[in-house]
Structure 1
Amino acid sequence: MIPFLDLHKINNRFREELKASFEQSLDTSYYILGPNVKKFETEFAHYCETDYCIGTANGLDALTLILKGYIEIGKLKKGDKVMVPANTFIATILAVIHADLEPVLVEPNPKTYNISINEVESAFTEDIKAIIMVHLYGQLADYESLKTISKQHNLLLIEDAAQAHGAISNSKNIKAGNLANAAAFSFYPSKNLGALGDGGAVTTNDKELNEAISLLRNYGSKVKYENEVIGYNSRLDDLQATFLSVKLKTLDSDNERRQQIAQHYLKEIKNPKLRLPFYDESKNHVFYAFVVELENRDDFINHLNKNAIEWLIHYPIPPHKQKALQRFSHLKLPITEQIHKRIISLPISPVLTDQEVNTVIKVINTY
């Protein structure tokens, strides 16, 4: 069996360092907002080349707290509309709803699966105050065009960078996390930079937003038992922070390995039944997922199962068709709906061997 993602093998590379980190945390007994959180926040801000990083409990909270933070400092107000990709994980839309804002779902570019610039321009109305761009599957959205639109209409531009740790723009050599007013990251274990549990972070260069989110994530408090605003409990766990500091050291080399595997897939997969992902061989795609598209997905899945190749679908049901979001079920989003019916993700990870990659290619070419 070729696993879709072997988390044991990925994390076992760091076994001794992770054990030492655990023992250090156990001995010092700093468990909540301790020195390891501050250390990782400093390291990740430096990595993303931003002024600030605020650790949160998870990626959904990171994105929600950005929006709540903007409300707190008066740059958004409850009920404002926020453009989001229709083709995304539901968390992007949930964050908008949790912040008492109104999502406006926008179709993707079928070439990249990221939010369509043409559709953004068509969907704009005066009550839209922000755009969330998702770097889906690890490929940067067209942030330069979105920045231009945002400046023209005085909109906030926010990154959902949950799948794009370390992705770098082609033209400006800027990393995910520093491409907009603020960015949300997830450190869910499957991510390119994954914790051994839940975790998330916000990166920004906005001092006022940084201060607002730092308050909001900790009960609205700077000083214990003194609460300045209505806050939340969403703090990056100190132990997870020290694990992330260990794993951050190899993020770039892990991303390079993912890109190498992707290039090999793109070069060697010759089956005309599959539509392979768009990739310009730059660092703007870090391949959180290698997503292919085809008409008869069920038949292809049977073929992979028979040949012991694990797979995953990112994602089987589009957000507007989820029971939780029934109020959007009337929307006509044919591109999004077609994508969700046709896509499937193939194994890709930094610990996948050349032999395993070649086996995947051979199995696919015999389909």
Structure 2
Amino acid sequence: MKKSFELCRIMSFILVFIFSLSFSLQASPYDSMEIIINDRFIKNSPKTVLINDVVYIPLSQLQDNLGIKVYFQEDDGSYHIYWWSNFLYINKEKNIIMVNNEYKSHEHAVEIINDVLYIPEDMLVEILGFRIEKIDSVKGFRIITNDKVMTAEELLKMREEEKKAKPAIGKYNGPKVAYITFDDGIVRGNSEKILDILKEKNVKATFFVLGNTISRNQDILKRMAEEGHSIGNHSYSHRKEIIYKSSDSLKNEIDKTSDLILETIGKAMYLFRPPYGSKIIKGQNYQKALEDYKIILWNVDSNDSRVKDIKAEQIYKNVVAQVQNKRSAIILMHETKAESVKALPMIIDYLIKSGFEIKAIEEDEVISYK
């Protein structure tokens, strides 16, 4: 009897211990929070991480949103951070923090994870001078950089109203509009000629670029952005067997390209055109991987990539034949084709003469495929 009692007591202790352990391992509400800057939810936001019960912010991923610059010194592994008129230096051992040539001590060290600089939340306040607010109802971490911002209640109300007011795709009833889009770039030589024509004609286009073309053509990508064209994501490799191997593989292809675009032009972009069309991405897992992106297809195919040795005149005729009965034309062309470059001025002139407004696609714009 005594042995049975002892066994029961031991089992009870083990169960309590397991329950306590599982409870302690539950994710903190302050881990993986969405970032909010002032009155704006950051689309596809980087997330906070919890380290030793301290919330850390991915500062180097937020530099464009916060108006700061983070420089990584390849030679010594240190970080240099500039914000407004201030300067912060953190050495690679993370034990020296210098602000405007003055050494500052701090309770928590910075962290570098996968080449991203994370700083503890209190450093945002004590050293960078920002205010912070945690909005539990949306699991949001809000960074406030100025005095005139909405209350949390007003911000959440605005977000709900925006969701309700967001029009459905396909309800466009305005003037005739044409979107000239280019896939498979960046292509040195062709891309510059396209940009020259667009500049001369004073129209904007949308470029769906491949990630594996960016590193060697950063100057062209910067020019596209600086001249007011929209930048879209077209995967990293354009290789079907890699992109659509799994939803994780698709997300990896998109994320790699997205990171390169952000690194080059200092702005994250959320337009995506799936290579080879949309049939493959209809599965639930693929849709989950694409939830932060706006999918842009086309309803006018110039056939510049489908017909071997096609000439500029035929590309032009293909476009003209398809846009005649449309009020909204999303035109598919390819930067890789020299004949498409030659056809572009003719296409632009026809669209303008036919009463189309030629625009670049914006992320929040209603797109009709009619």
TM-score by length of 1: 0.24
Higher RCO structure, 1 or 2 (CA under 8 Å, sep 6+): 1
Larger fraction in helix: 1
Larger fraction in strand: 2
Question: Larger C-alpha radius of gyration, 1 or 2?
Answer: 2
